């Protein structure tokens, strides 16, 4: 059975500078949803979700993520997966450029010049590390709603594992390639760092790595390439807005797929750059005991103003690539007598086993213990138990279907807070929402959705 994903990159919500561009981009994004619904329907398998390889927003602010959340809700509804089934990583446009001060530019320049040693030095310093991650504040809140928490110490925080059969699984490893991005052009100067490029390896498990920047944007690219070629099976990137596919023969029985994505919404549409996205299907090829990846690249056809298959990109390559998979072969192959999974399992988010990179006292959201009573601003608990999937889904709908005014009014009406004074950011709203759920307001929240639909007729991307 296949695990199907819609793959997007460089969606750039908020990039439009004029009404005409906004109208064209909005139309293309609406057509993309229609096209994705039709194409995944042809495959007949379960749609496991959406993959976004960075640059969800254009300027890294909360208003842009609100637009992205509404559109992603329409997309996930159309293709038949849960709204929370979205994997994402940050890109350079997911950084709040307004927070790149002269002091931060100086720190980033020193890290680029000093390499791994200076990166680790700043990550190990609590104040410097906090400064690096403050630029991602809006993205962090948005990604947290989708269970794609950023590691706050320069490492890989959570990953998603998908089991095809007993002893045969694929793991999606998500990197923050934008960690030391500034406002300048940085090709060949970025650093992944040892904490991110040291990929995990488990018998019976092949790795798909998600990175916004292609490999040649890093000064430690050769070190990273070694881990990729020795441990990963697929490397998916974005950023350059132009698609490319390469199958690397690492050694006998070992291959690496390098897939660079086109932009879902490029900075400008011309003869070279246009709207693009992919439909990916992963499966265990039992005969070859290998990971097979099927690719359906979609591109905008201006002659008919809709998406079509990108035959030029495929350039006579096979749509289905069976990749030599040594990590599968290292584990016993499920026997014919062993009960095999009738269908691909669910995508399970989980932290990686290695946690050495986490500094004492860090506030890693995935590692936060179940605890109440630690009060922050307005007496709201800062450290809380990991929410259930039902609560996460309800939370996504809360932010996607209600305006901020309606949400804040609800908090007061529910008695969560007596009044709202000043600006409330997404992180604070999330804590208010979960307090409302803990106080038994889930049904009342669901009623708000019905009221919003009846009053506004719903929303459309």
Could you give the strand order of the β-sheet that contains 205-210, starting from the edge strand earlier in sequence? 244-251, 254-260, 232-237, 205-210, 168-174, 158-165, 348-351
Q: What pLDDT is stored for residue 343 in this prediction?
A: 59
Tell whether the model's pLDDT for residue 67 goes beyond 50.
Answer: yes
Question: How many CB atoms neighbour CB 330 within 10 A?
Answer: 12
Tell whether the model's pLDDT for residue 461 goes beyond 70.
Answer: no
Residue entry with tokens 């290695």: 354
Task: Output 442 or 271, whichever has higher pLDDT.
Answer: 442
Mean pLDDT of the chain: 86
Alpha helices in 239-325 (DSSP H): 311-314
Task: Output 358 or 152, whichever has higher pLDDT.
Answer: 152
pLDDT tens profile 37-55: 999 999 877 899 999 999 9
Question: Going by C-beta distance under 8 Å and a sequence separation of 6 or more, which residues neighbour residue 228?
Answer: 199, 209, 215, 235, 256
pLDDT band at 362 (very low <50, low <70, confident <90, very high): very low
Sign of the CA dihedral running 63, 64, 65, 69: positive
Residues belonging to the chain? 461
Domains detected in the chain: 3-329 (3.60.21.10), 368-456 (no CATH)
Give dist(CA 83, CA 396) in Å, integer: 7
Give dist(CA 188, CA 224) in Å, integer: 13
Q: What pLDDT is stored for residue 352 in this prediction?
A: 63
pLDDT tens profile 72-90: 999 999 999 999 999 999 9
Q: Helices then strands (H, E): number in the chain?
A: 14, 14
Tell whether the model's pLDDT for residue 8 goes beyond 90.
Answer: yes
Q: What pLDDT is stored for residue 68 in this prediction?
A: 94
Asked if 160 and 89 count as a contact pair (C-beta separation under 8 A), the reply is: no
**Looking at residues 104-123, what average pLDDT do you find?**
93
pLDDT band at 345 (very low <50, low <70, confident <90, very high): confident
Question: Going by C-beta distance under 8 Å and a sequence separation of 6 or more, which residues neighbour residue 311?
Answer: none
Q: What pLDDT is stored for residue 189 in this prediction?
A: 93
- Please tell me what DSSP assigns to residue 88: E
Burial (CB count within 10 angstroms: exposed 0-12, middle 13-18, buried 19+), residue 278: buried
pLDDT tens profile 272-305: 899 999 999 999 999 999 999 999 999 999 999 9
**CA proximity to 399, closest of 115, 193, 145, 167:** 145
Phi and psi at residue 25, to the nearest 5°? -65, -40
Q: What pLDDT is stored for residue 385 in this prediction?
A: 59
pLDDT band at 431 (very low <50, low <70, confident <90, very high): confident
**CA proximity to 95, closest of 268, 214, 213:** 213
Provide the percentage of residues in the chain whose pLDDT is more than 90.
60
Q: What pLDDT is stored for residue 158 in this prediction?
A: 81
**Looking at residues 137-159, what average pLDDT do you find?**
89
**Looking at residues 25-36, what average pLDDT do you find?**
96
- CA 5 from chain centre, in angstroms, equals 12
**CA proximity to 71, closest of 13, 110, 125:** 13
Question: How many CB atoms neighbour CB 206 within 10 A?
Answer: 24
Tell whether the model's pLDDT for residue 364 goes beyond 60.
Answer: no
pLDDT tens profile 149-188: 899 999 997 899 999 999 999 999 999 999 999 877 789 8
pLDDT band at 353 (very low <50, low <70, confident <90, very high): low
Give dist(CA 168, CA 162) in Å, integer: 9
Q: Is 202 helix (H, G, I), strand (E, B) or coil?
A: strand
Which pair of structure tokens corresponds to residue 221? 């690219």
Provide the percentage of residues in the chain whose pLDDT is more than 70.
89
Residue entry with tokens 């997966």: 81
pLDDT band at 401 (very low <50, low <70, confident <90, very high): confident
Q: What pLDDT is stored for residue 101 in this prediction?
A: 87
pTM of the model: 0.85
Tell whether the model's pLDDT for residue 116 goes beyond 60.
Answer: yes
Question: Going by C-beta distance under 8 Å and a sequence separation of 6 or more, which residues neighbour residue 266?
Answer: 10, 12, 241, 273, 274, 275
pLDDT tens profile 201-253: 999 999 999 999 999 999 999 999 999 999 999 999 999 998 999 999 999 99
User: CA 50, 84, 397 angle in degrees (round to 5)?
Assistant: 125
Burial (CB count within 10 angstroms: exposed 0-12, middle 13-18, buried 19+), residue 181: buried
């Amino acid at each position: 059975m296949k695990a199907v994903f819609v793959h997007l990159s460089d969606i750039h919500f908020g990039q439009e500078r004029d009404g005409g561009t906004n109208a064209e981009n909005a139309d293309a994004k609406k057509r993309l949803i229609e096209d994705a619904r039709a194409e995944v329907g042809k495959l007949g398998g379960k749609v496991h979700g959406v993959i976004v390889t960075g640059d969800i927003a254009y300027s890294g602010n909360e208003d842009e993520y609100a637009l992205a959340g509404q559109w992603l809700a329409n997309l996930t509804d159309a293709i038949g997966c849960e709204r929370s089934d979205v994997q994402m990583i940050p890109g350079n446009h997911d950084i709040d450029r307004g927070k790149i001060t002269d002091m931060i530019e100086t720190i980033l320049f020193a890290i680029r010049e000093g390499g791994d040693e200076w990166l680790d030095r700043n990550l190990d310093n609590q104040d410097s590390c906090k400064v690096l991650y403050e630029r991602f504040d809006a993205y962090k809140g948005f990604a947290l709603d989708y269970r794609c928490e950023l590691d706050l110490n320069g490492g890989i925080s959570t990953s998603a594992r998908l089991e095809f059969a007993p002893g045969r699984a694929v793991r999606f490893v998500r990197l923050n390639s934008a960690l030391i991005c500034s406002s300048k052009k940085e090709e060949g100067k970025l650093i992944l760092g040892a904490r991110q490029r040291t990929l995990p390896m488990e018998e019976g498990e092949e790795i798909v790595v998600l990175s916004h920047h292609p490999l040649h944007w890093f000064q430690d690219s050769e070190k990273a390439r070694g881990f990729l070629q020795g441990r990963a099976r697929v490397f998916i990137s974005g950023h350059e807005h132009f698609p490319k596919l390469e199958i690397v023969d690492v050694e006998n029985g070992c291959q690496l797929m390098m897939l660079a994505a086109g932009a879902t919404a490029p900075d400008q549409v011309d003869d070279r750059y246009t709207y693009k996205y992919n439909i990916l299907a992963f499966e265990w090829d039992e005969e070859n005991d290998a990971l097979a990846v099927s690719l359906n690249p979609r591109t905008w056809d201006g002659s008919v103003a809709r998406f079509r298959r990108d035959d030029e990109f495929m350039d006579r390559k096979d749509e289905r690539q069976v990749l030599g998979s040594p990590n599968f072969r290292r584990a016993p192959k499920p026997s014919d007598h062993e009960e095999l999974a009738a269908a691909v399992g669910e995508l399970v988010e989980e932290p990686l086993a290695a946690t050495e990179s986490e500094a004492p006292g860090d506030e890693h959201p995935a590692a936060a213990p179940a605890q109440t009573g630690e009060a922050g601003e307005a007496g709201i608990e800062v450290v809380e138990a990991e929410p259930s999937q039902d609560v996460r889904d309800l939370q996504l709908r809360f932010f996607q279907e209600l305006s901020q005014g309606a949400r804040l009014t609800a908090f007061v009406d529910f008695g969560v807070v007596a009044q709202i004074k000043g600006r409330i950011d997404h992180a604070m709203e999330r804590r208010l929402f979960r307090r409302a759920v803990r106080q038994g307001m889930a049904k009342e929240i669901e009623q708000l959705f019905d009221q919003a639909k009846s009053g506004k007729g719903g929303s459309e991307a």
